[in-house]
Structure 1
Amino acid sequence: MRGVPVLASVVVLTLIAGPALCAGNPEQGRRLAERWCASCHLVGPGQRQALADVPTFASIARREDLSESLLAAFLTAPHPPMPNLSLSRQEIADVLAYIRSLR
């Protein structure tokens, strides 16, 4: 029975880190961000309008306290005011690759 908590921890960490382990495509991530995120966030340099109280993707990319696994977990289980996007693991990896490209 002692192995059950360890196994559960491994499963949770795999689910959280799984998207980060996939190779992401930053160009595809940019397209996803423009489609799903640009109504609230500034997702790229060409965008001129977004909500004032949400971080830009560039500012998210520069934050040292936001690890890739934490961002992946946030995209896996978004919470209000962020809508539930139901992104696939590959889509999450793509968005993360795009965010990384903005550093």
Structure 2
Amino acid sequence: MRVRDVCFVGSALIVACILLVPGQANAAGDARSGRQIAQRWCASCHLVAPGQATGSPDVPSFQAIARSEDLTEALLTAFLSSSHPRMPDMSLSRREIADLVAYIRSQR
């Protein structure tokens, strides 16, 4: 694992611990709504759906992200809850994040 990867996983776990309040169930997201969010916010860089023709070559597709065993639902939620230099600050609500995570997970 590279230092960058370790830092990402560590920070994602911290954010996940903050977001996942004990005793409070996290509502399952709506993959259909997540697809709309992905097409609006993510499709300019990521391949977000089968059949999409263009995306940035250095950016993983949603299918590749979904198939990564290291990227759990909690880690994806944490990642989407914080800003990152390479991604636009989307300022998604918790509901939108849950929907986007549900859509990404549906791409397995």
TM-score (norm 2): 0.78
Secondary structure of the corresponding residue to residue 21 of structure 1: coil
Runs of 5+ consecutive residues of structure 2 not aligned to the other structure:
1-14
Runs of 5+ consecutive residues of structure 1 not aligned to the other structure:
1-10
Aligned-partner Cα distance in 2 for 1:33–1:99: 9
Tell whether the 8 Å contact from 2:43 to 2:55 is kept in structure 1 after alignment.
yes
Aligned-partner Cα distance in 1 for 2:90–2:84: 10
- Over aligned residue pairs, what C-alpha RMSD do you find? 1.8
TM-score (norm 1): 0.82
Give 1:48's match in structure 2, choosing from 45, 49, 53.
53
Secondary structure of the corresponding residue to residue 71 of structure 1: helix
Q: Flag as ranges the 4+ runs of structure 1 deviating above 6 A.
A: none
How many Å apart are 1:26 and its aligned residue?
Answer: 0.3
How many residues in Structure 1 have an aligned counterpart in Structure 2?
91
Equivalent residue number for residue 95 of structure 1? 100
The sequence identity of aligned pairs, in percent, is: 59
- Residue correspondence of structure 1 range 23-102 to structure 2 within 5 A: 23-102=28-107
Partner letter of residue 37 of structure 2?
L
Aligned-partner Cα distance in 1 for 2:44–2:83: 16
* Compared CA separation, residues 31 and 12, structure 1 to 2 (3 A): closer
State the structure with more CA Rg. Answer: 1
Aligned-partner Cα distance in 1 for 2:49–2:78: 22
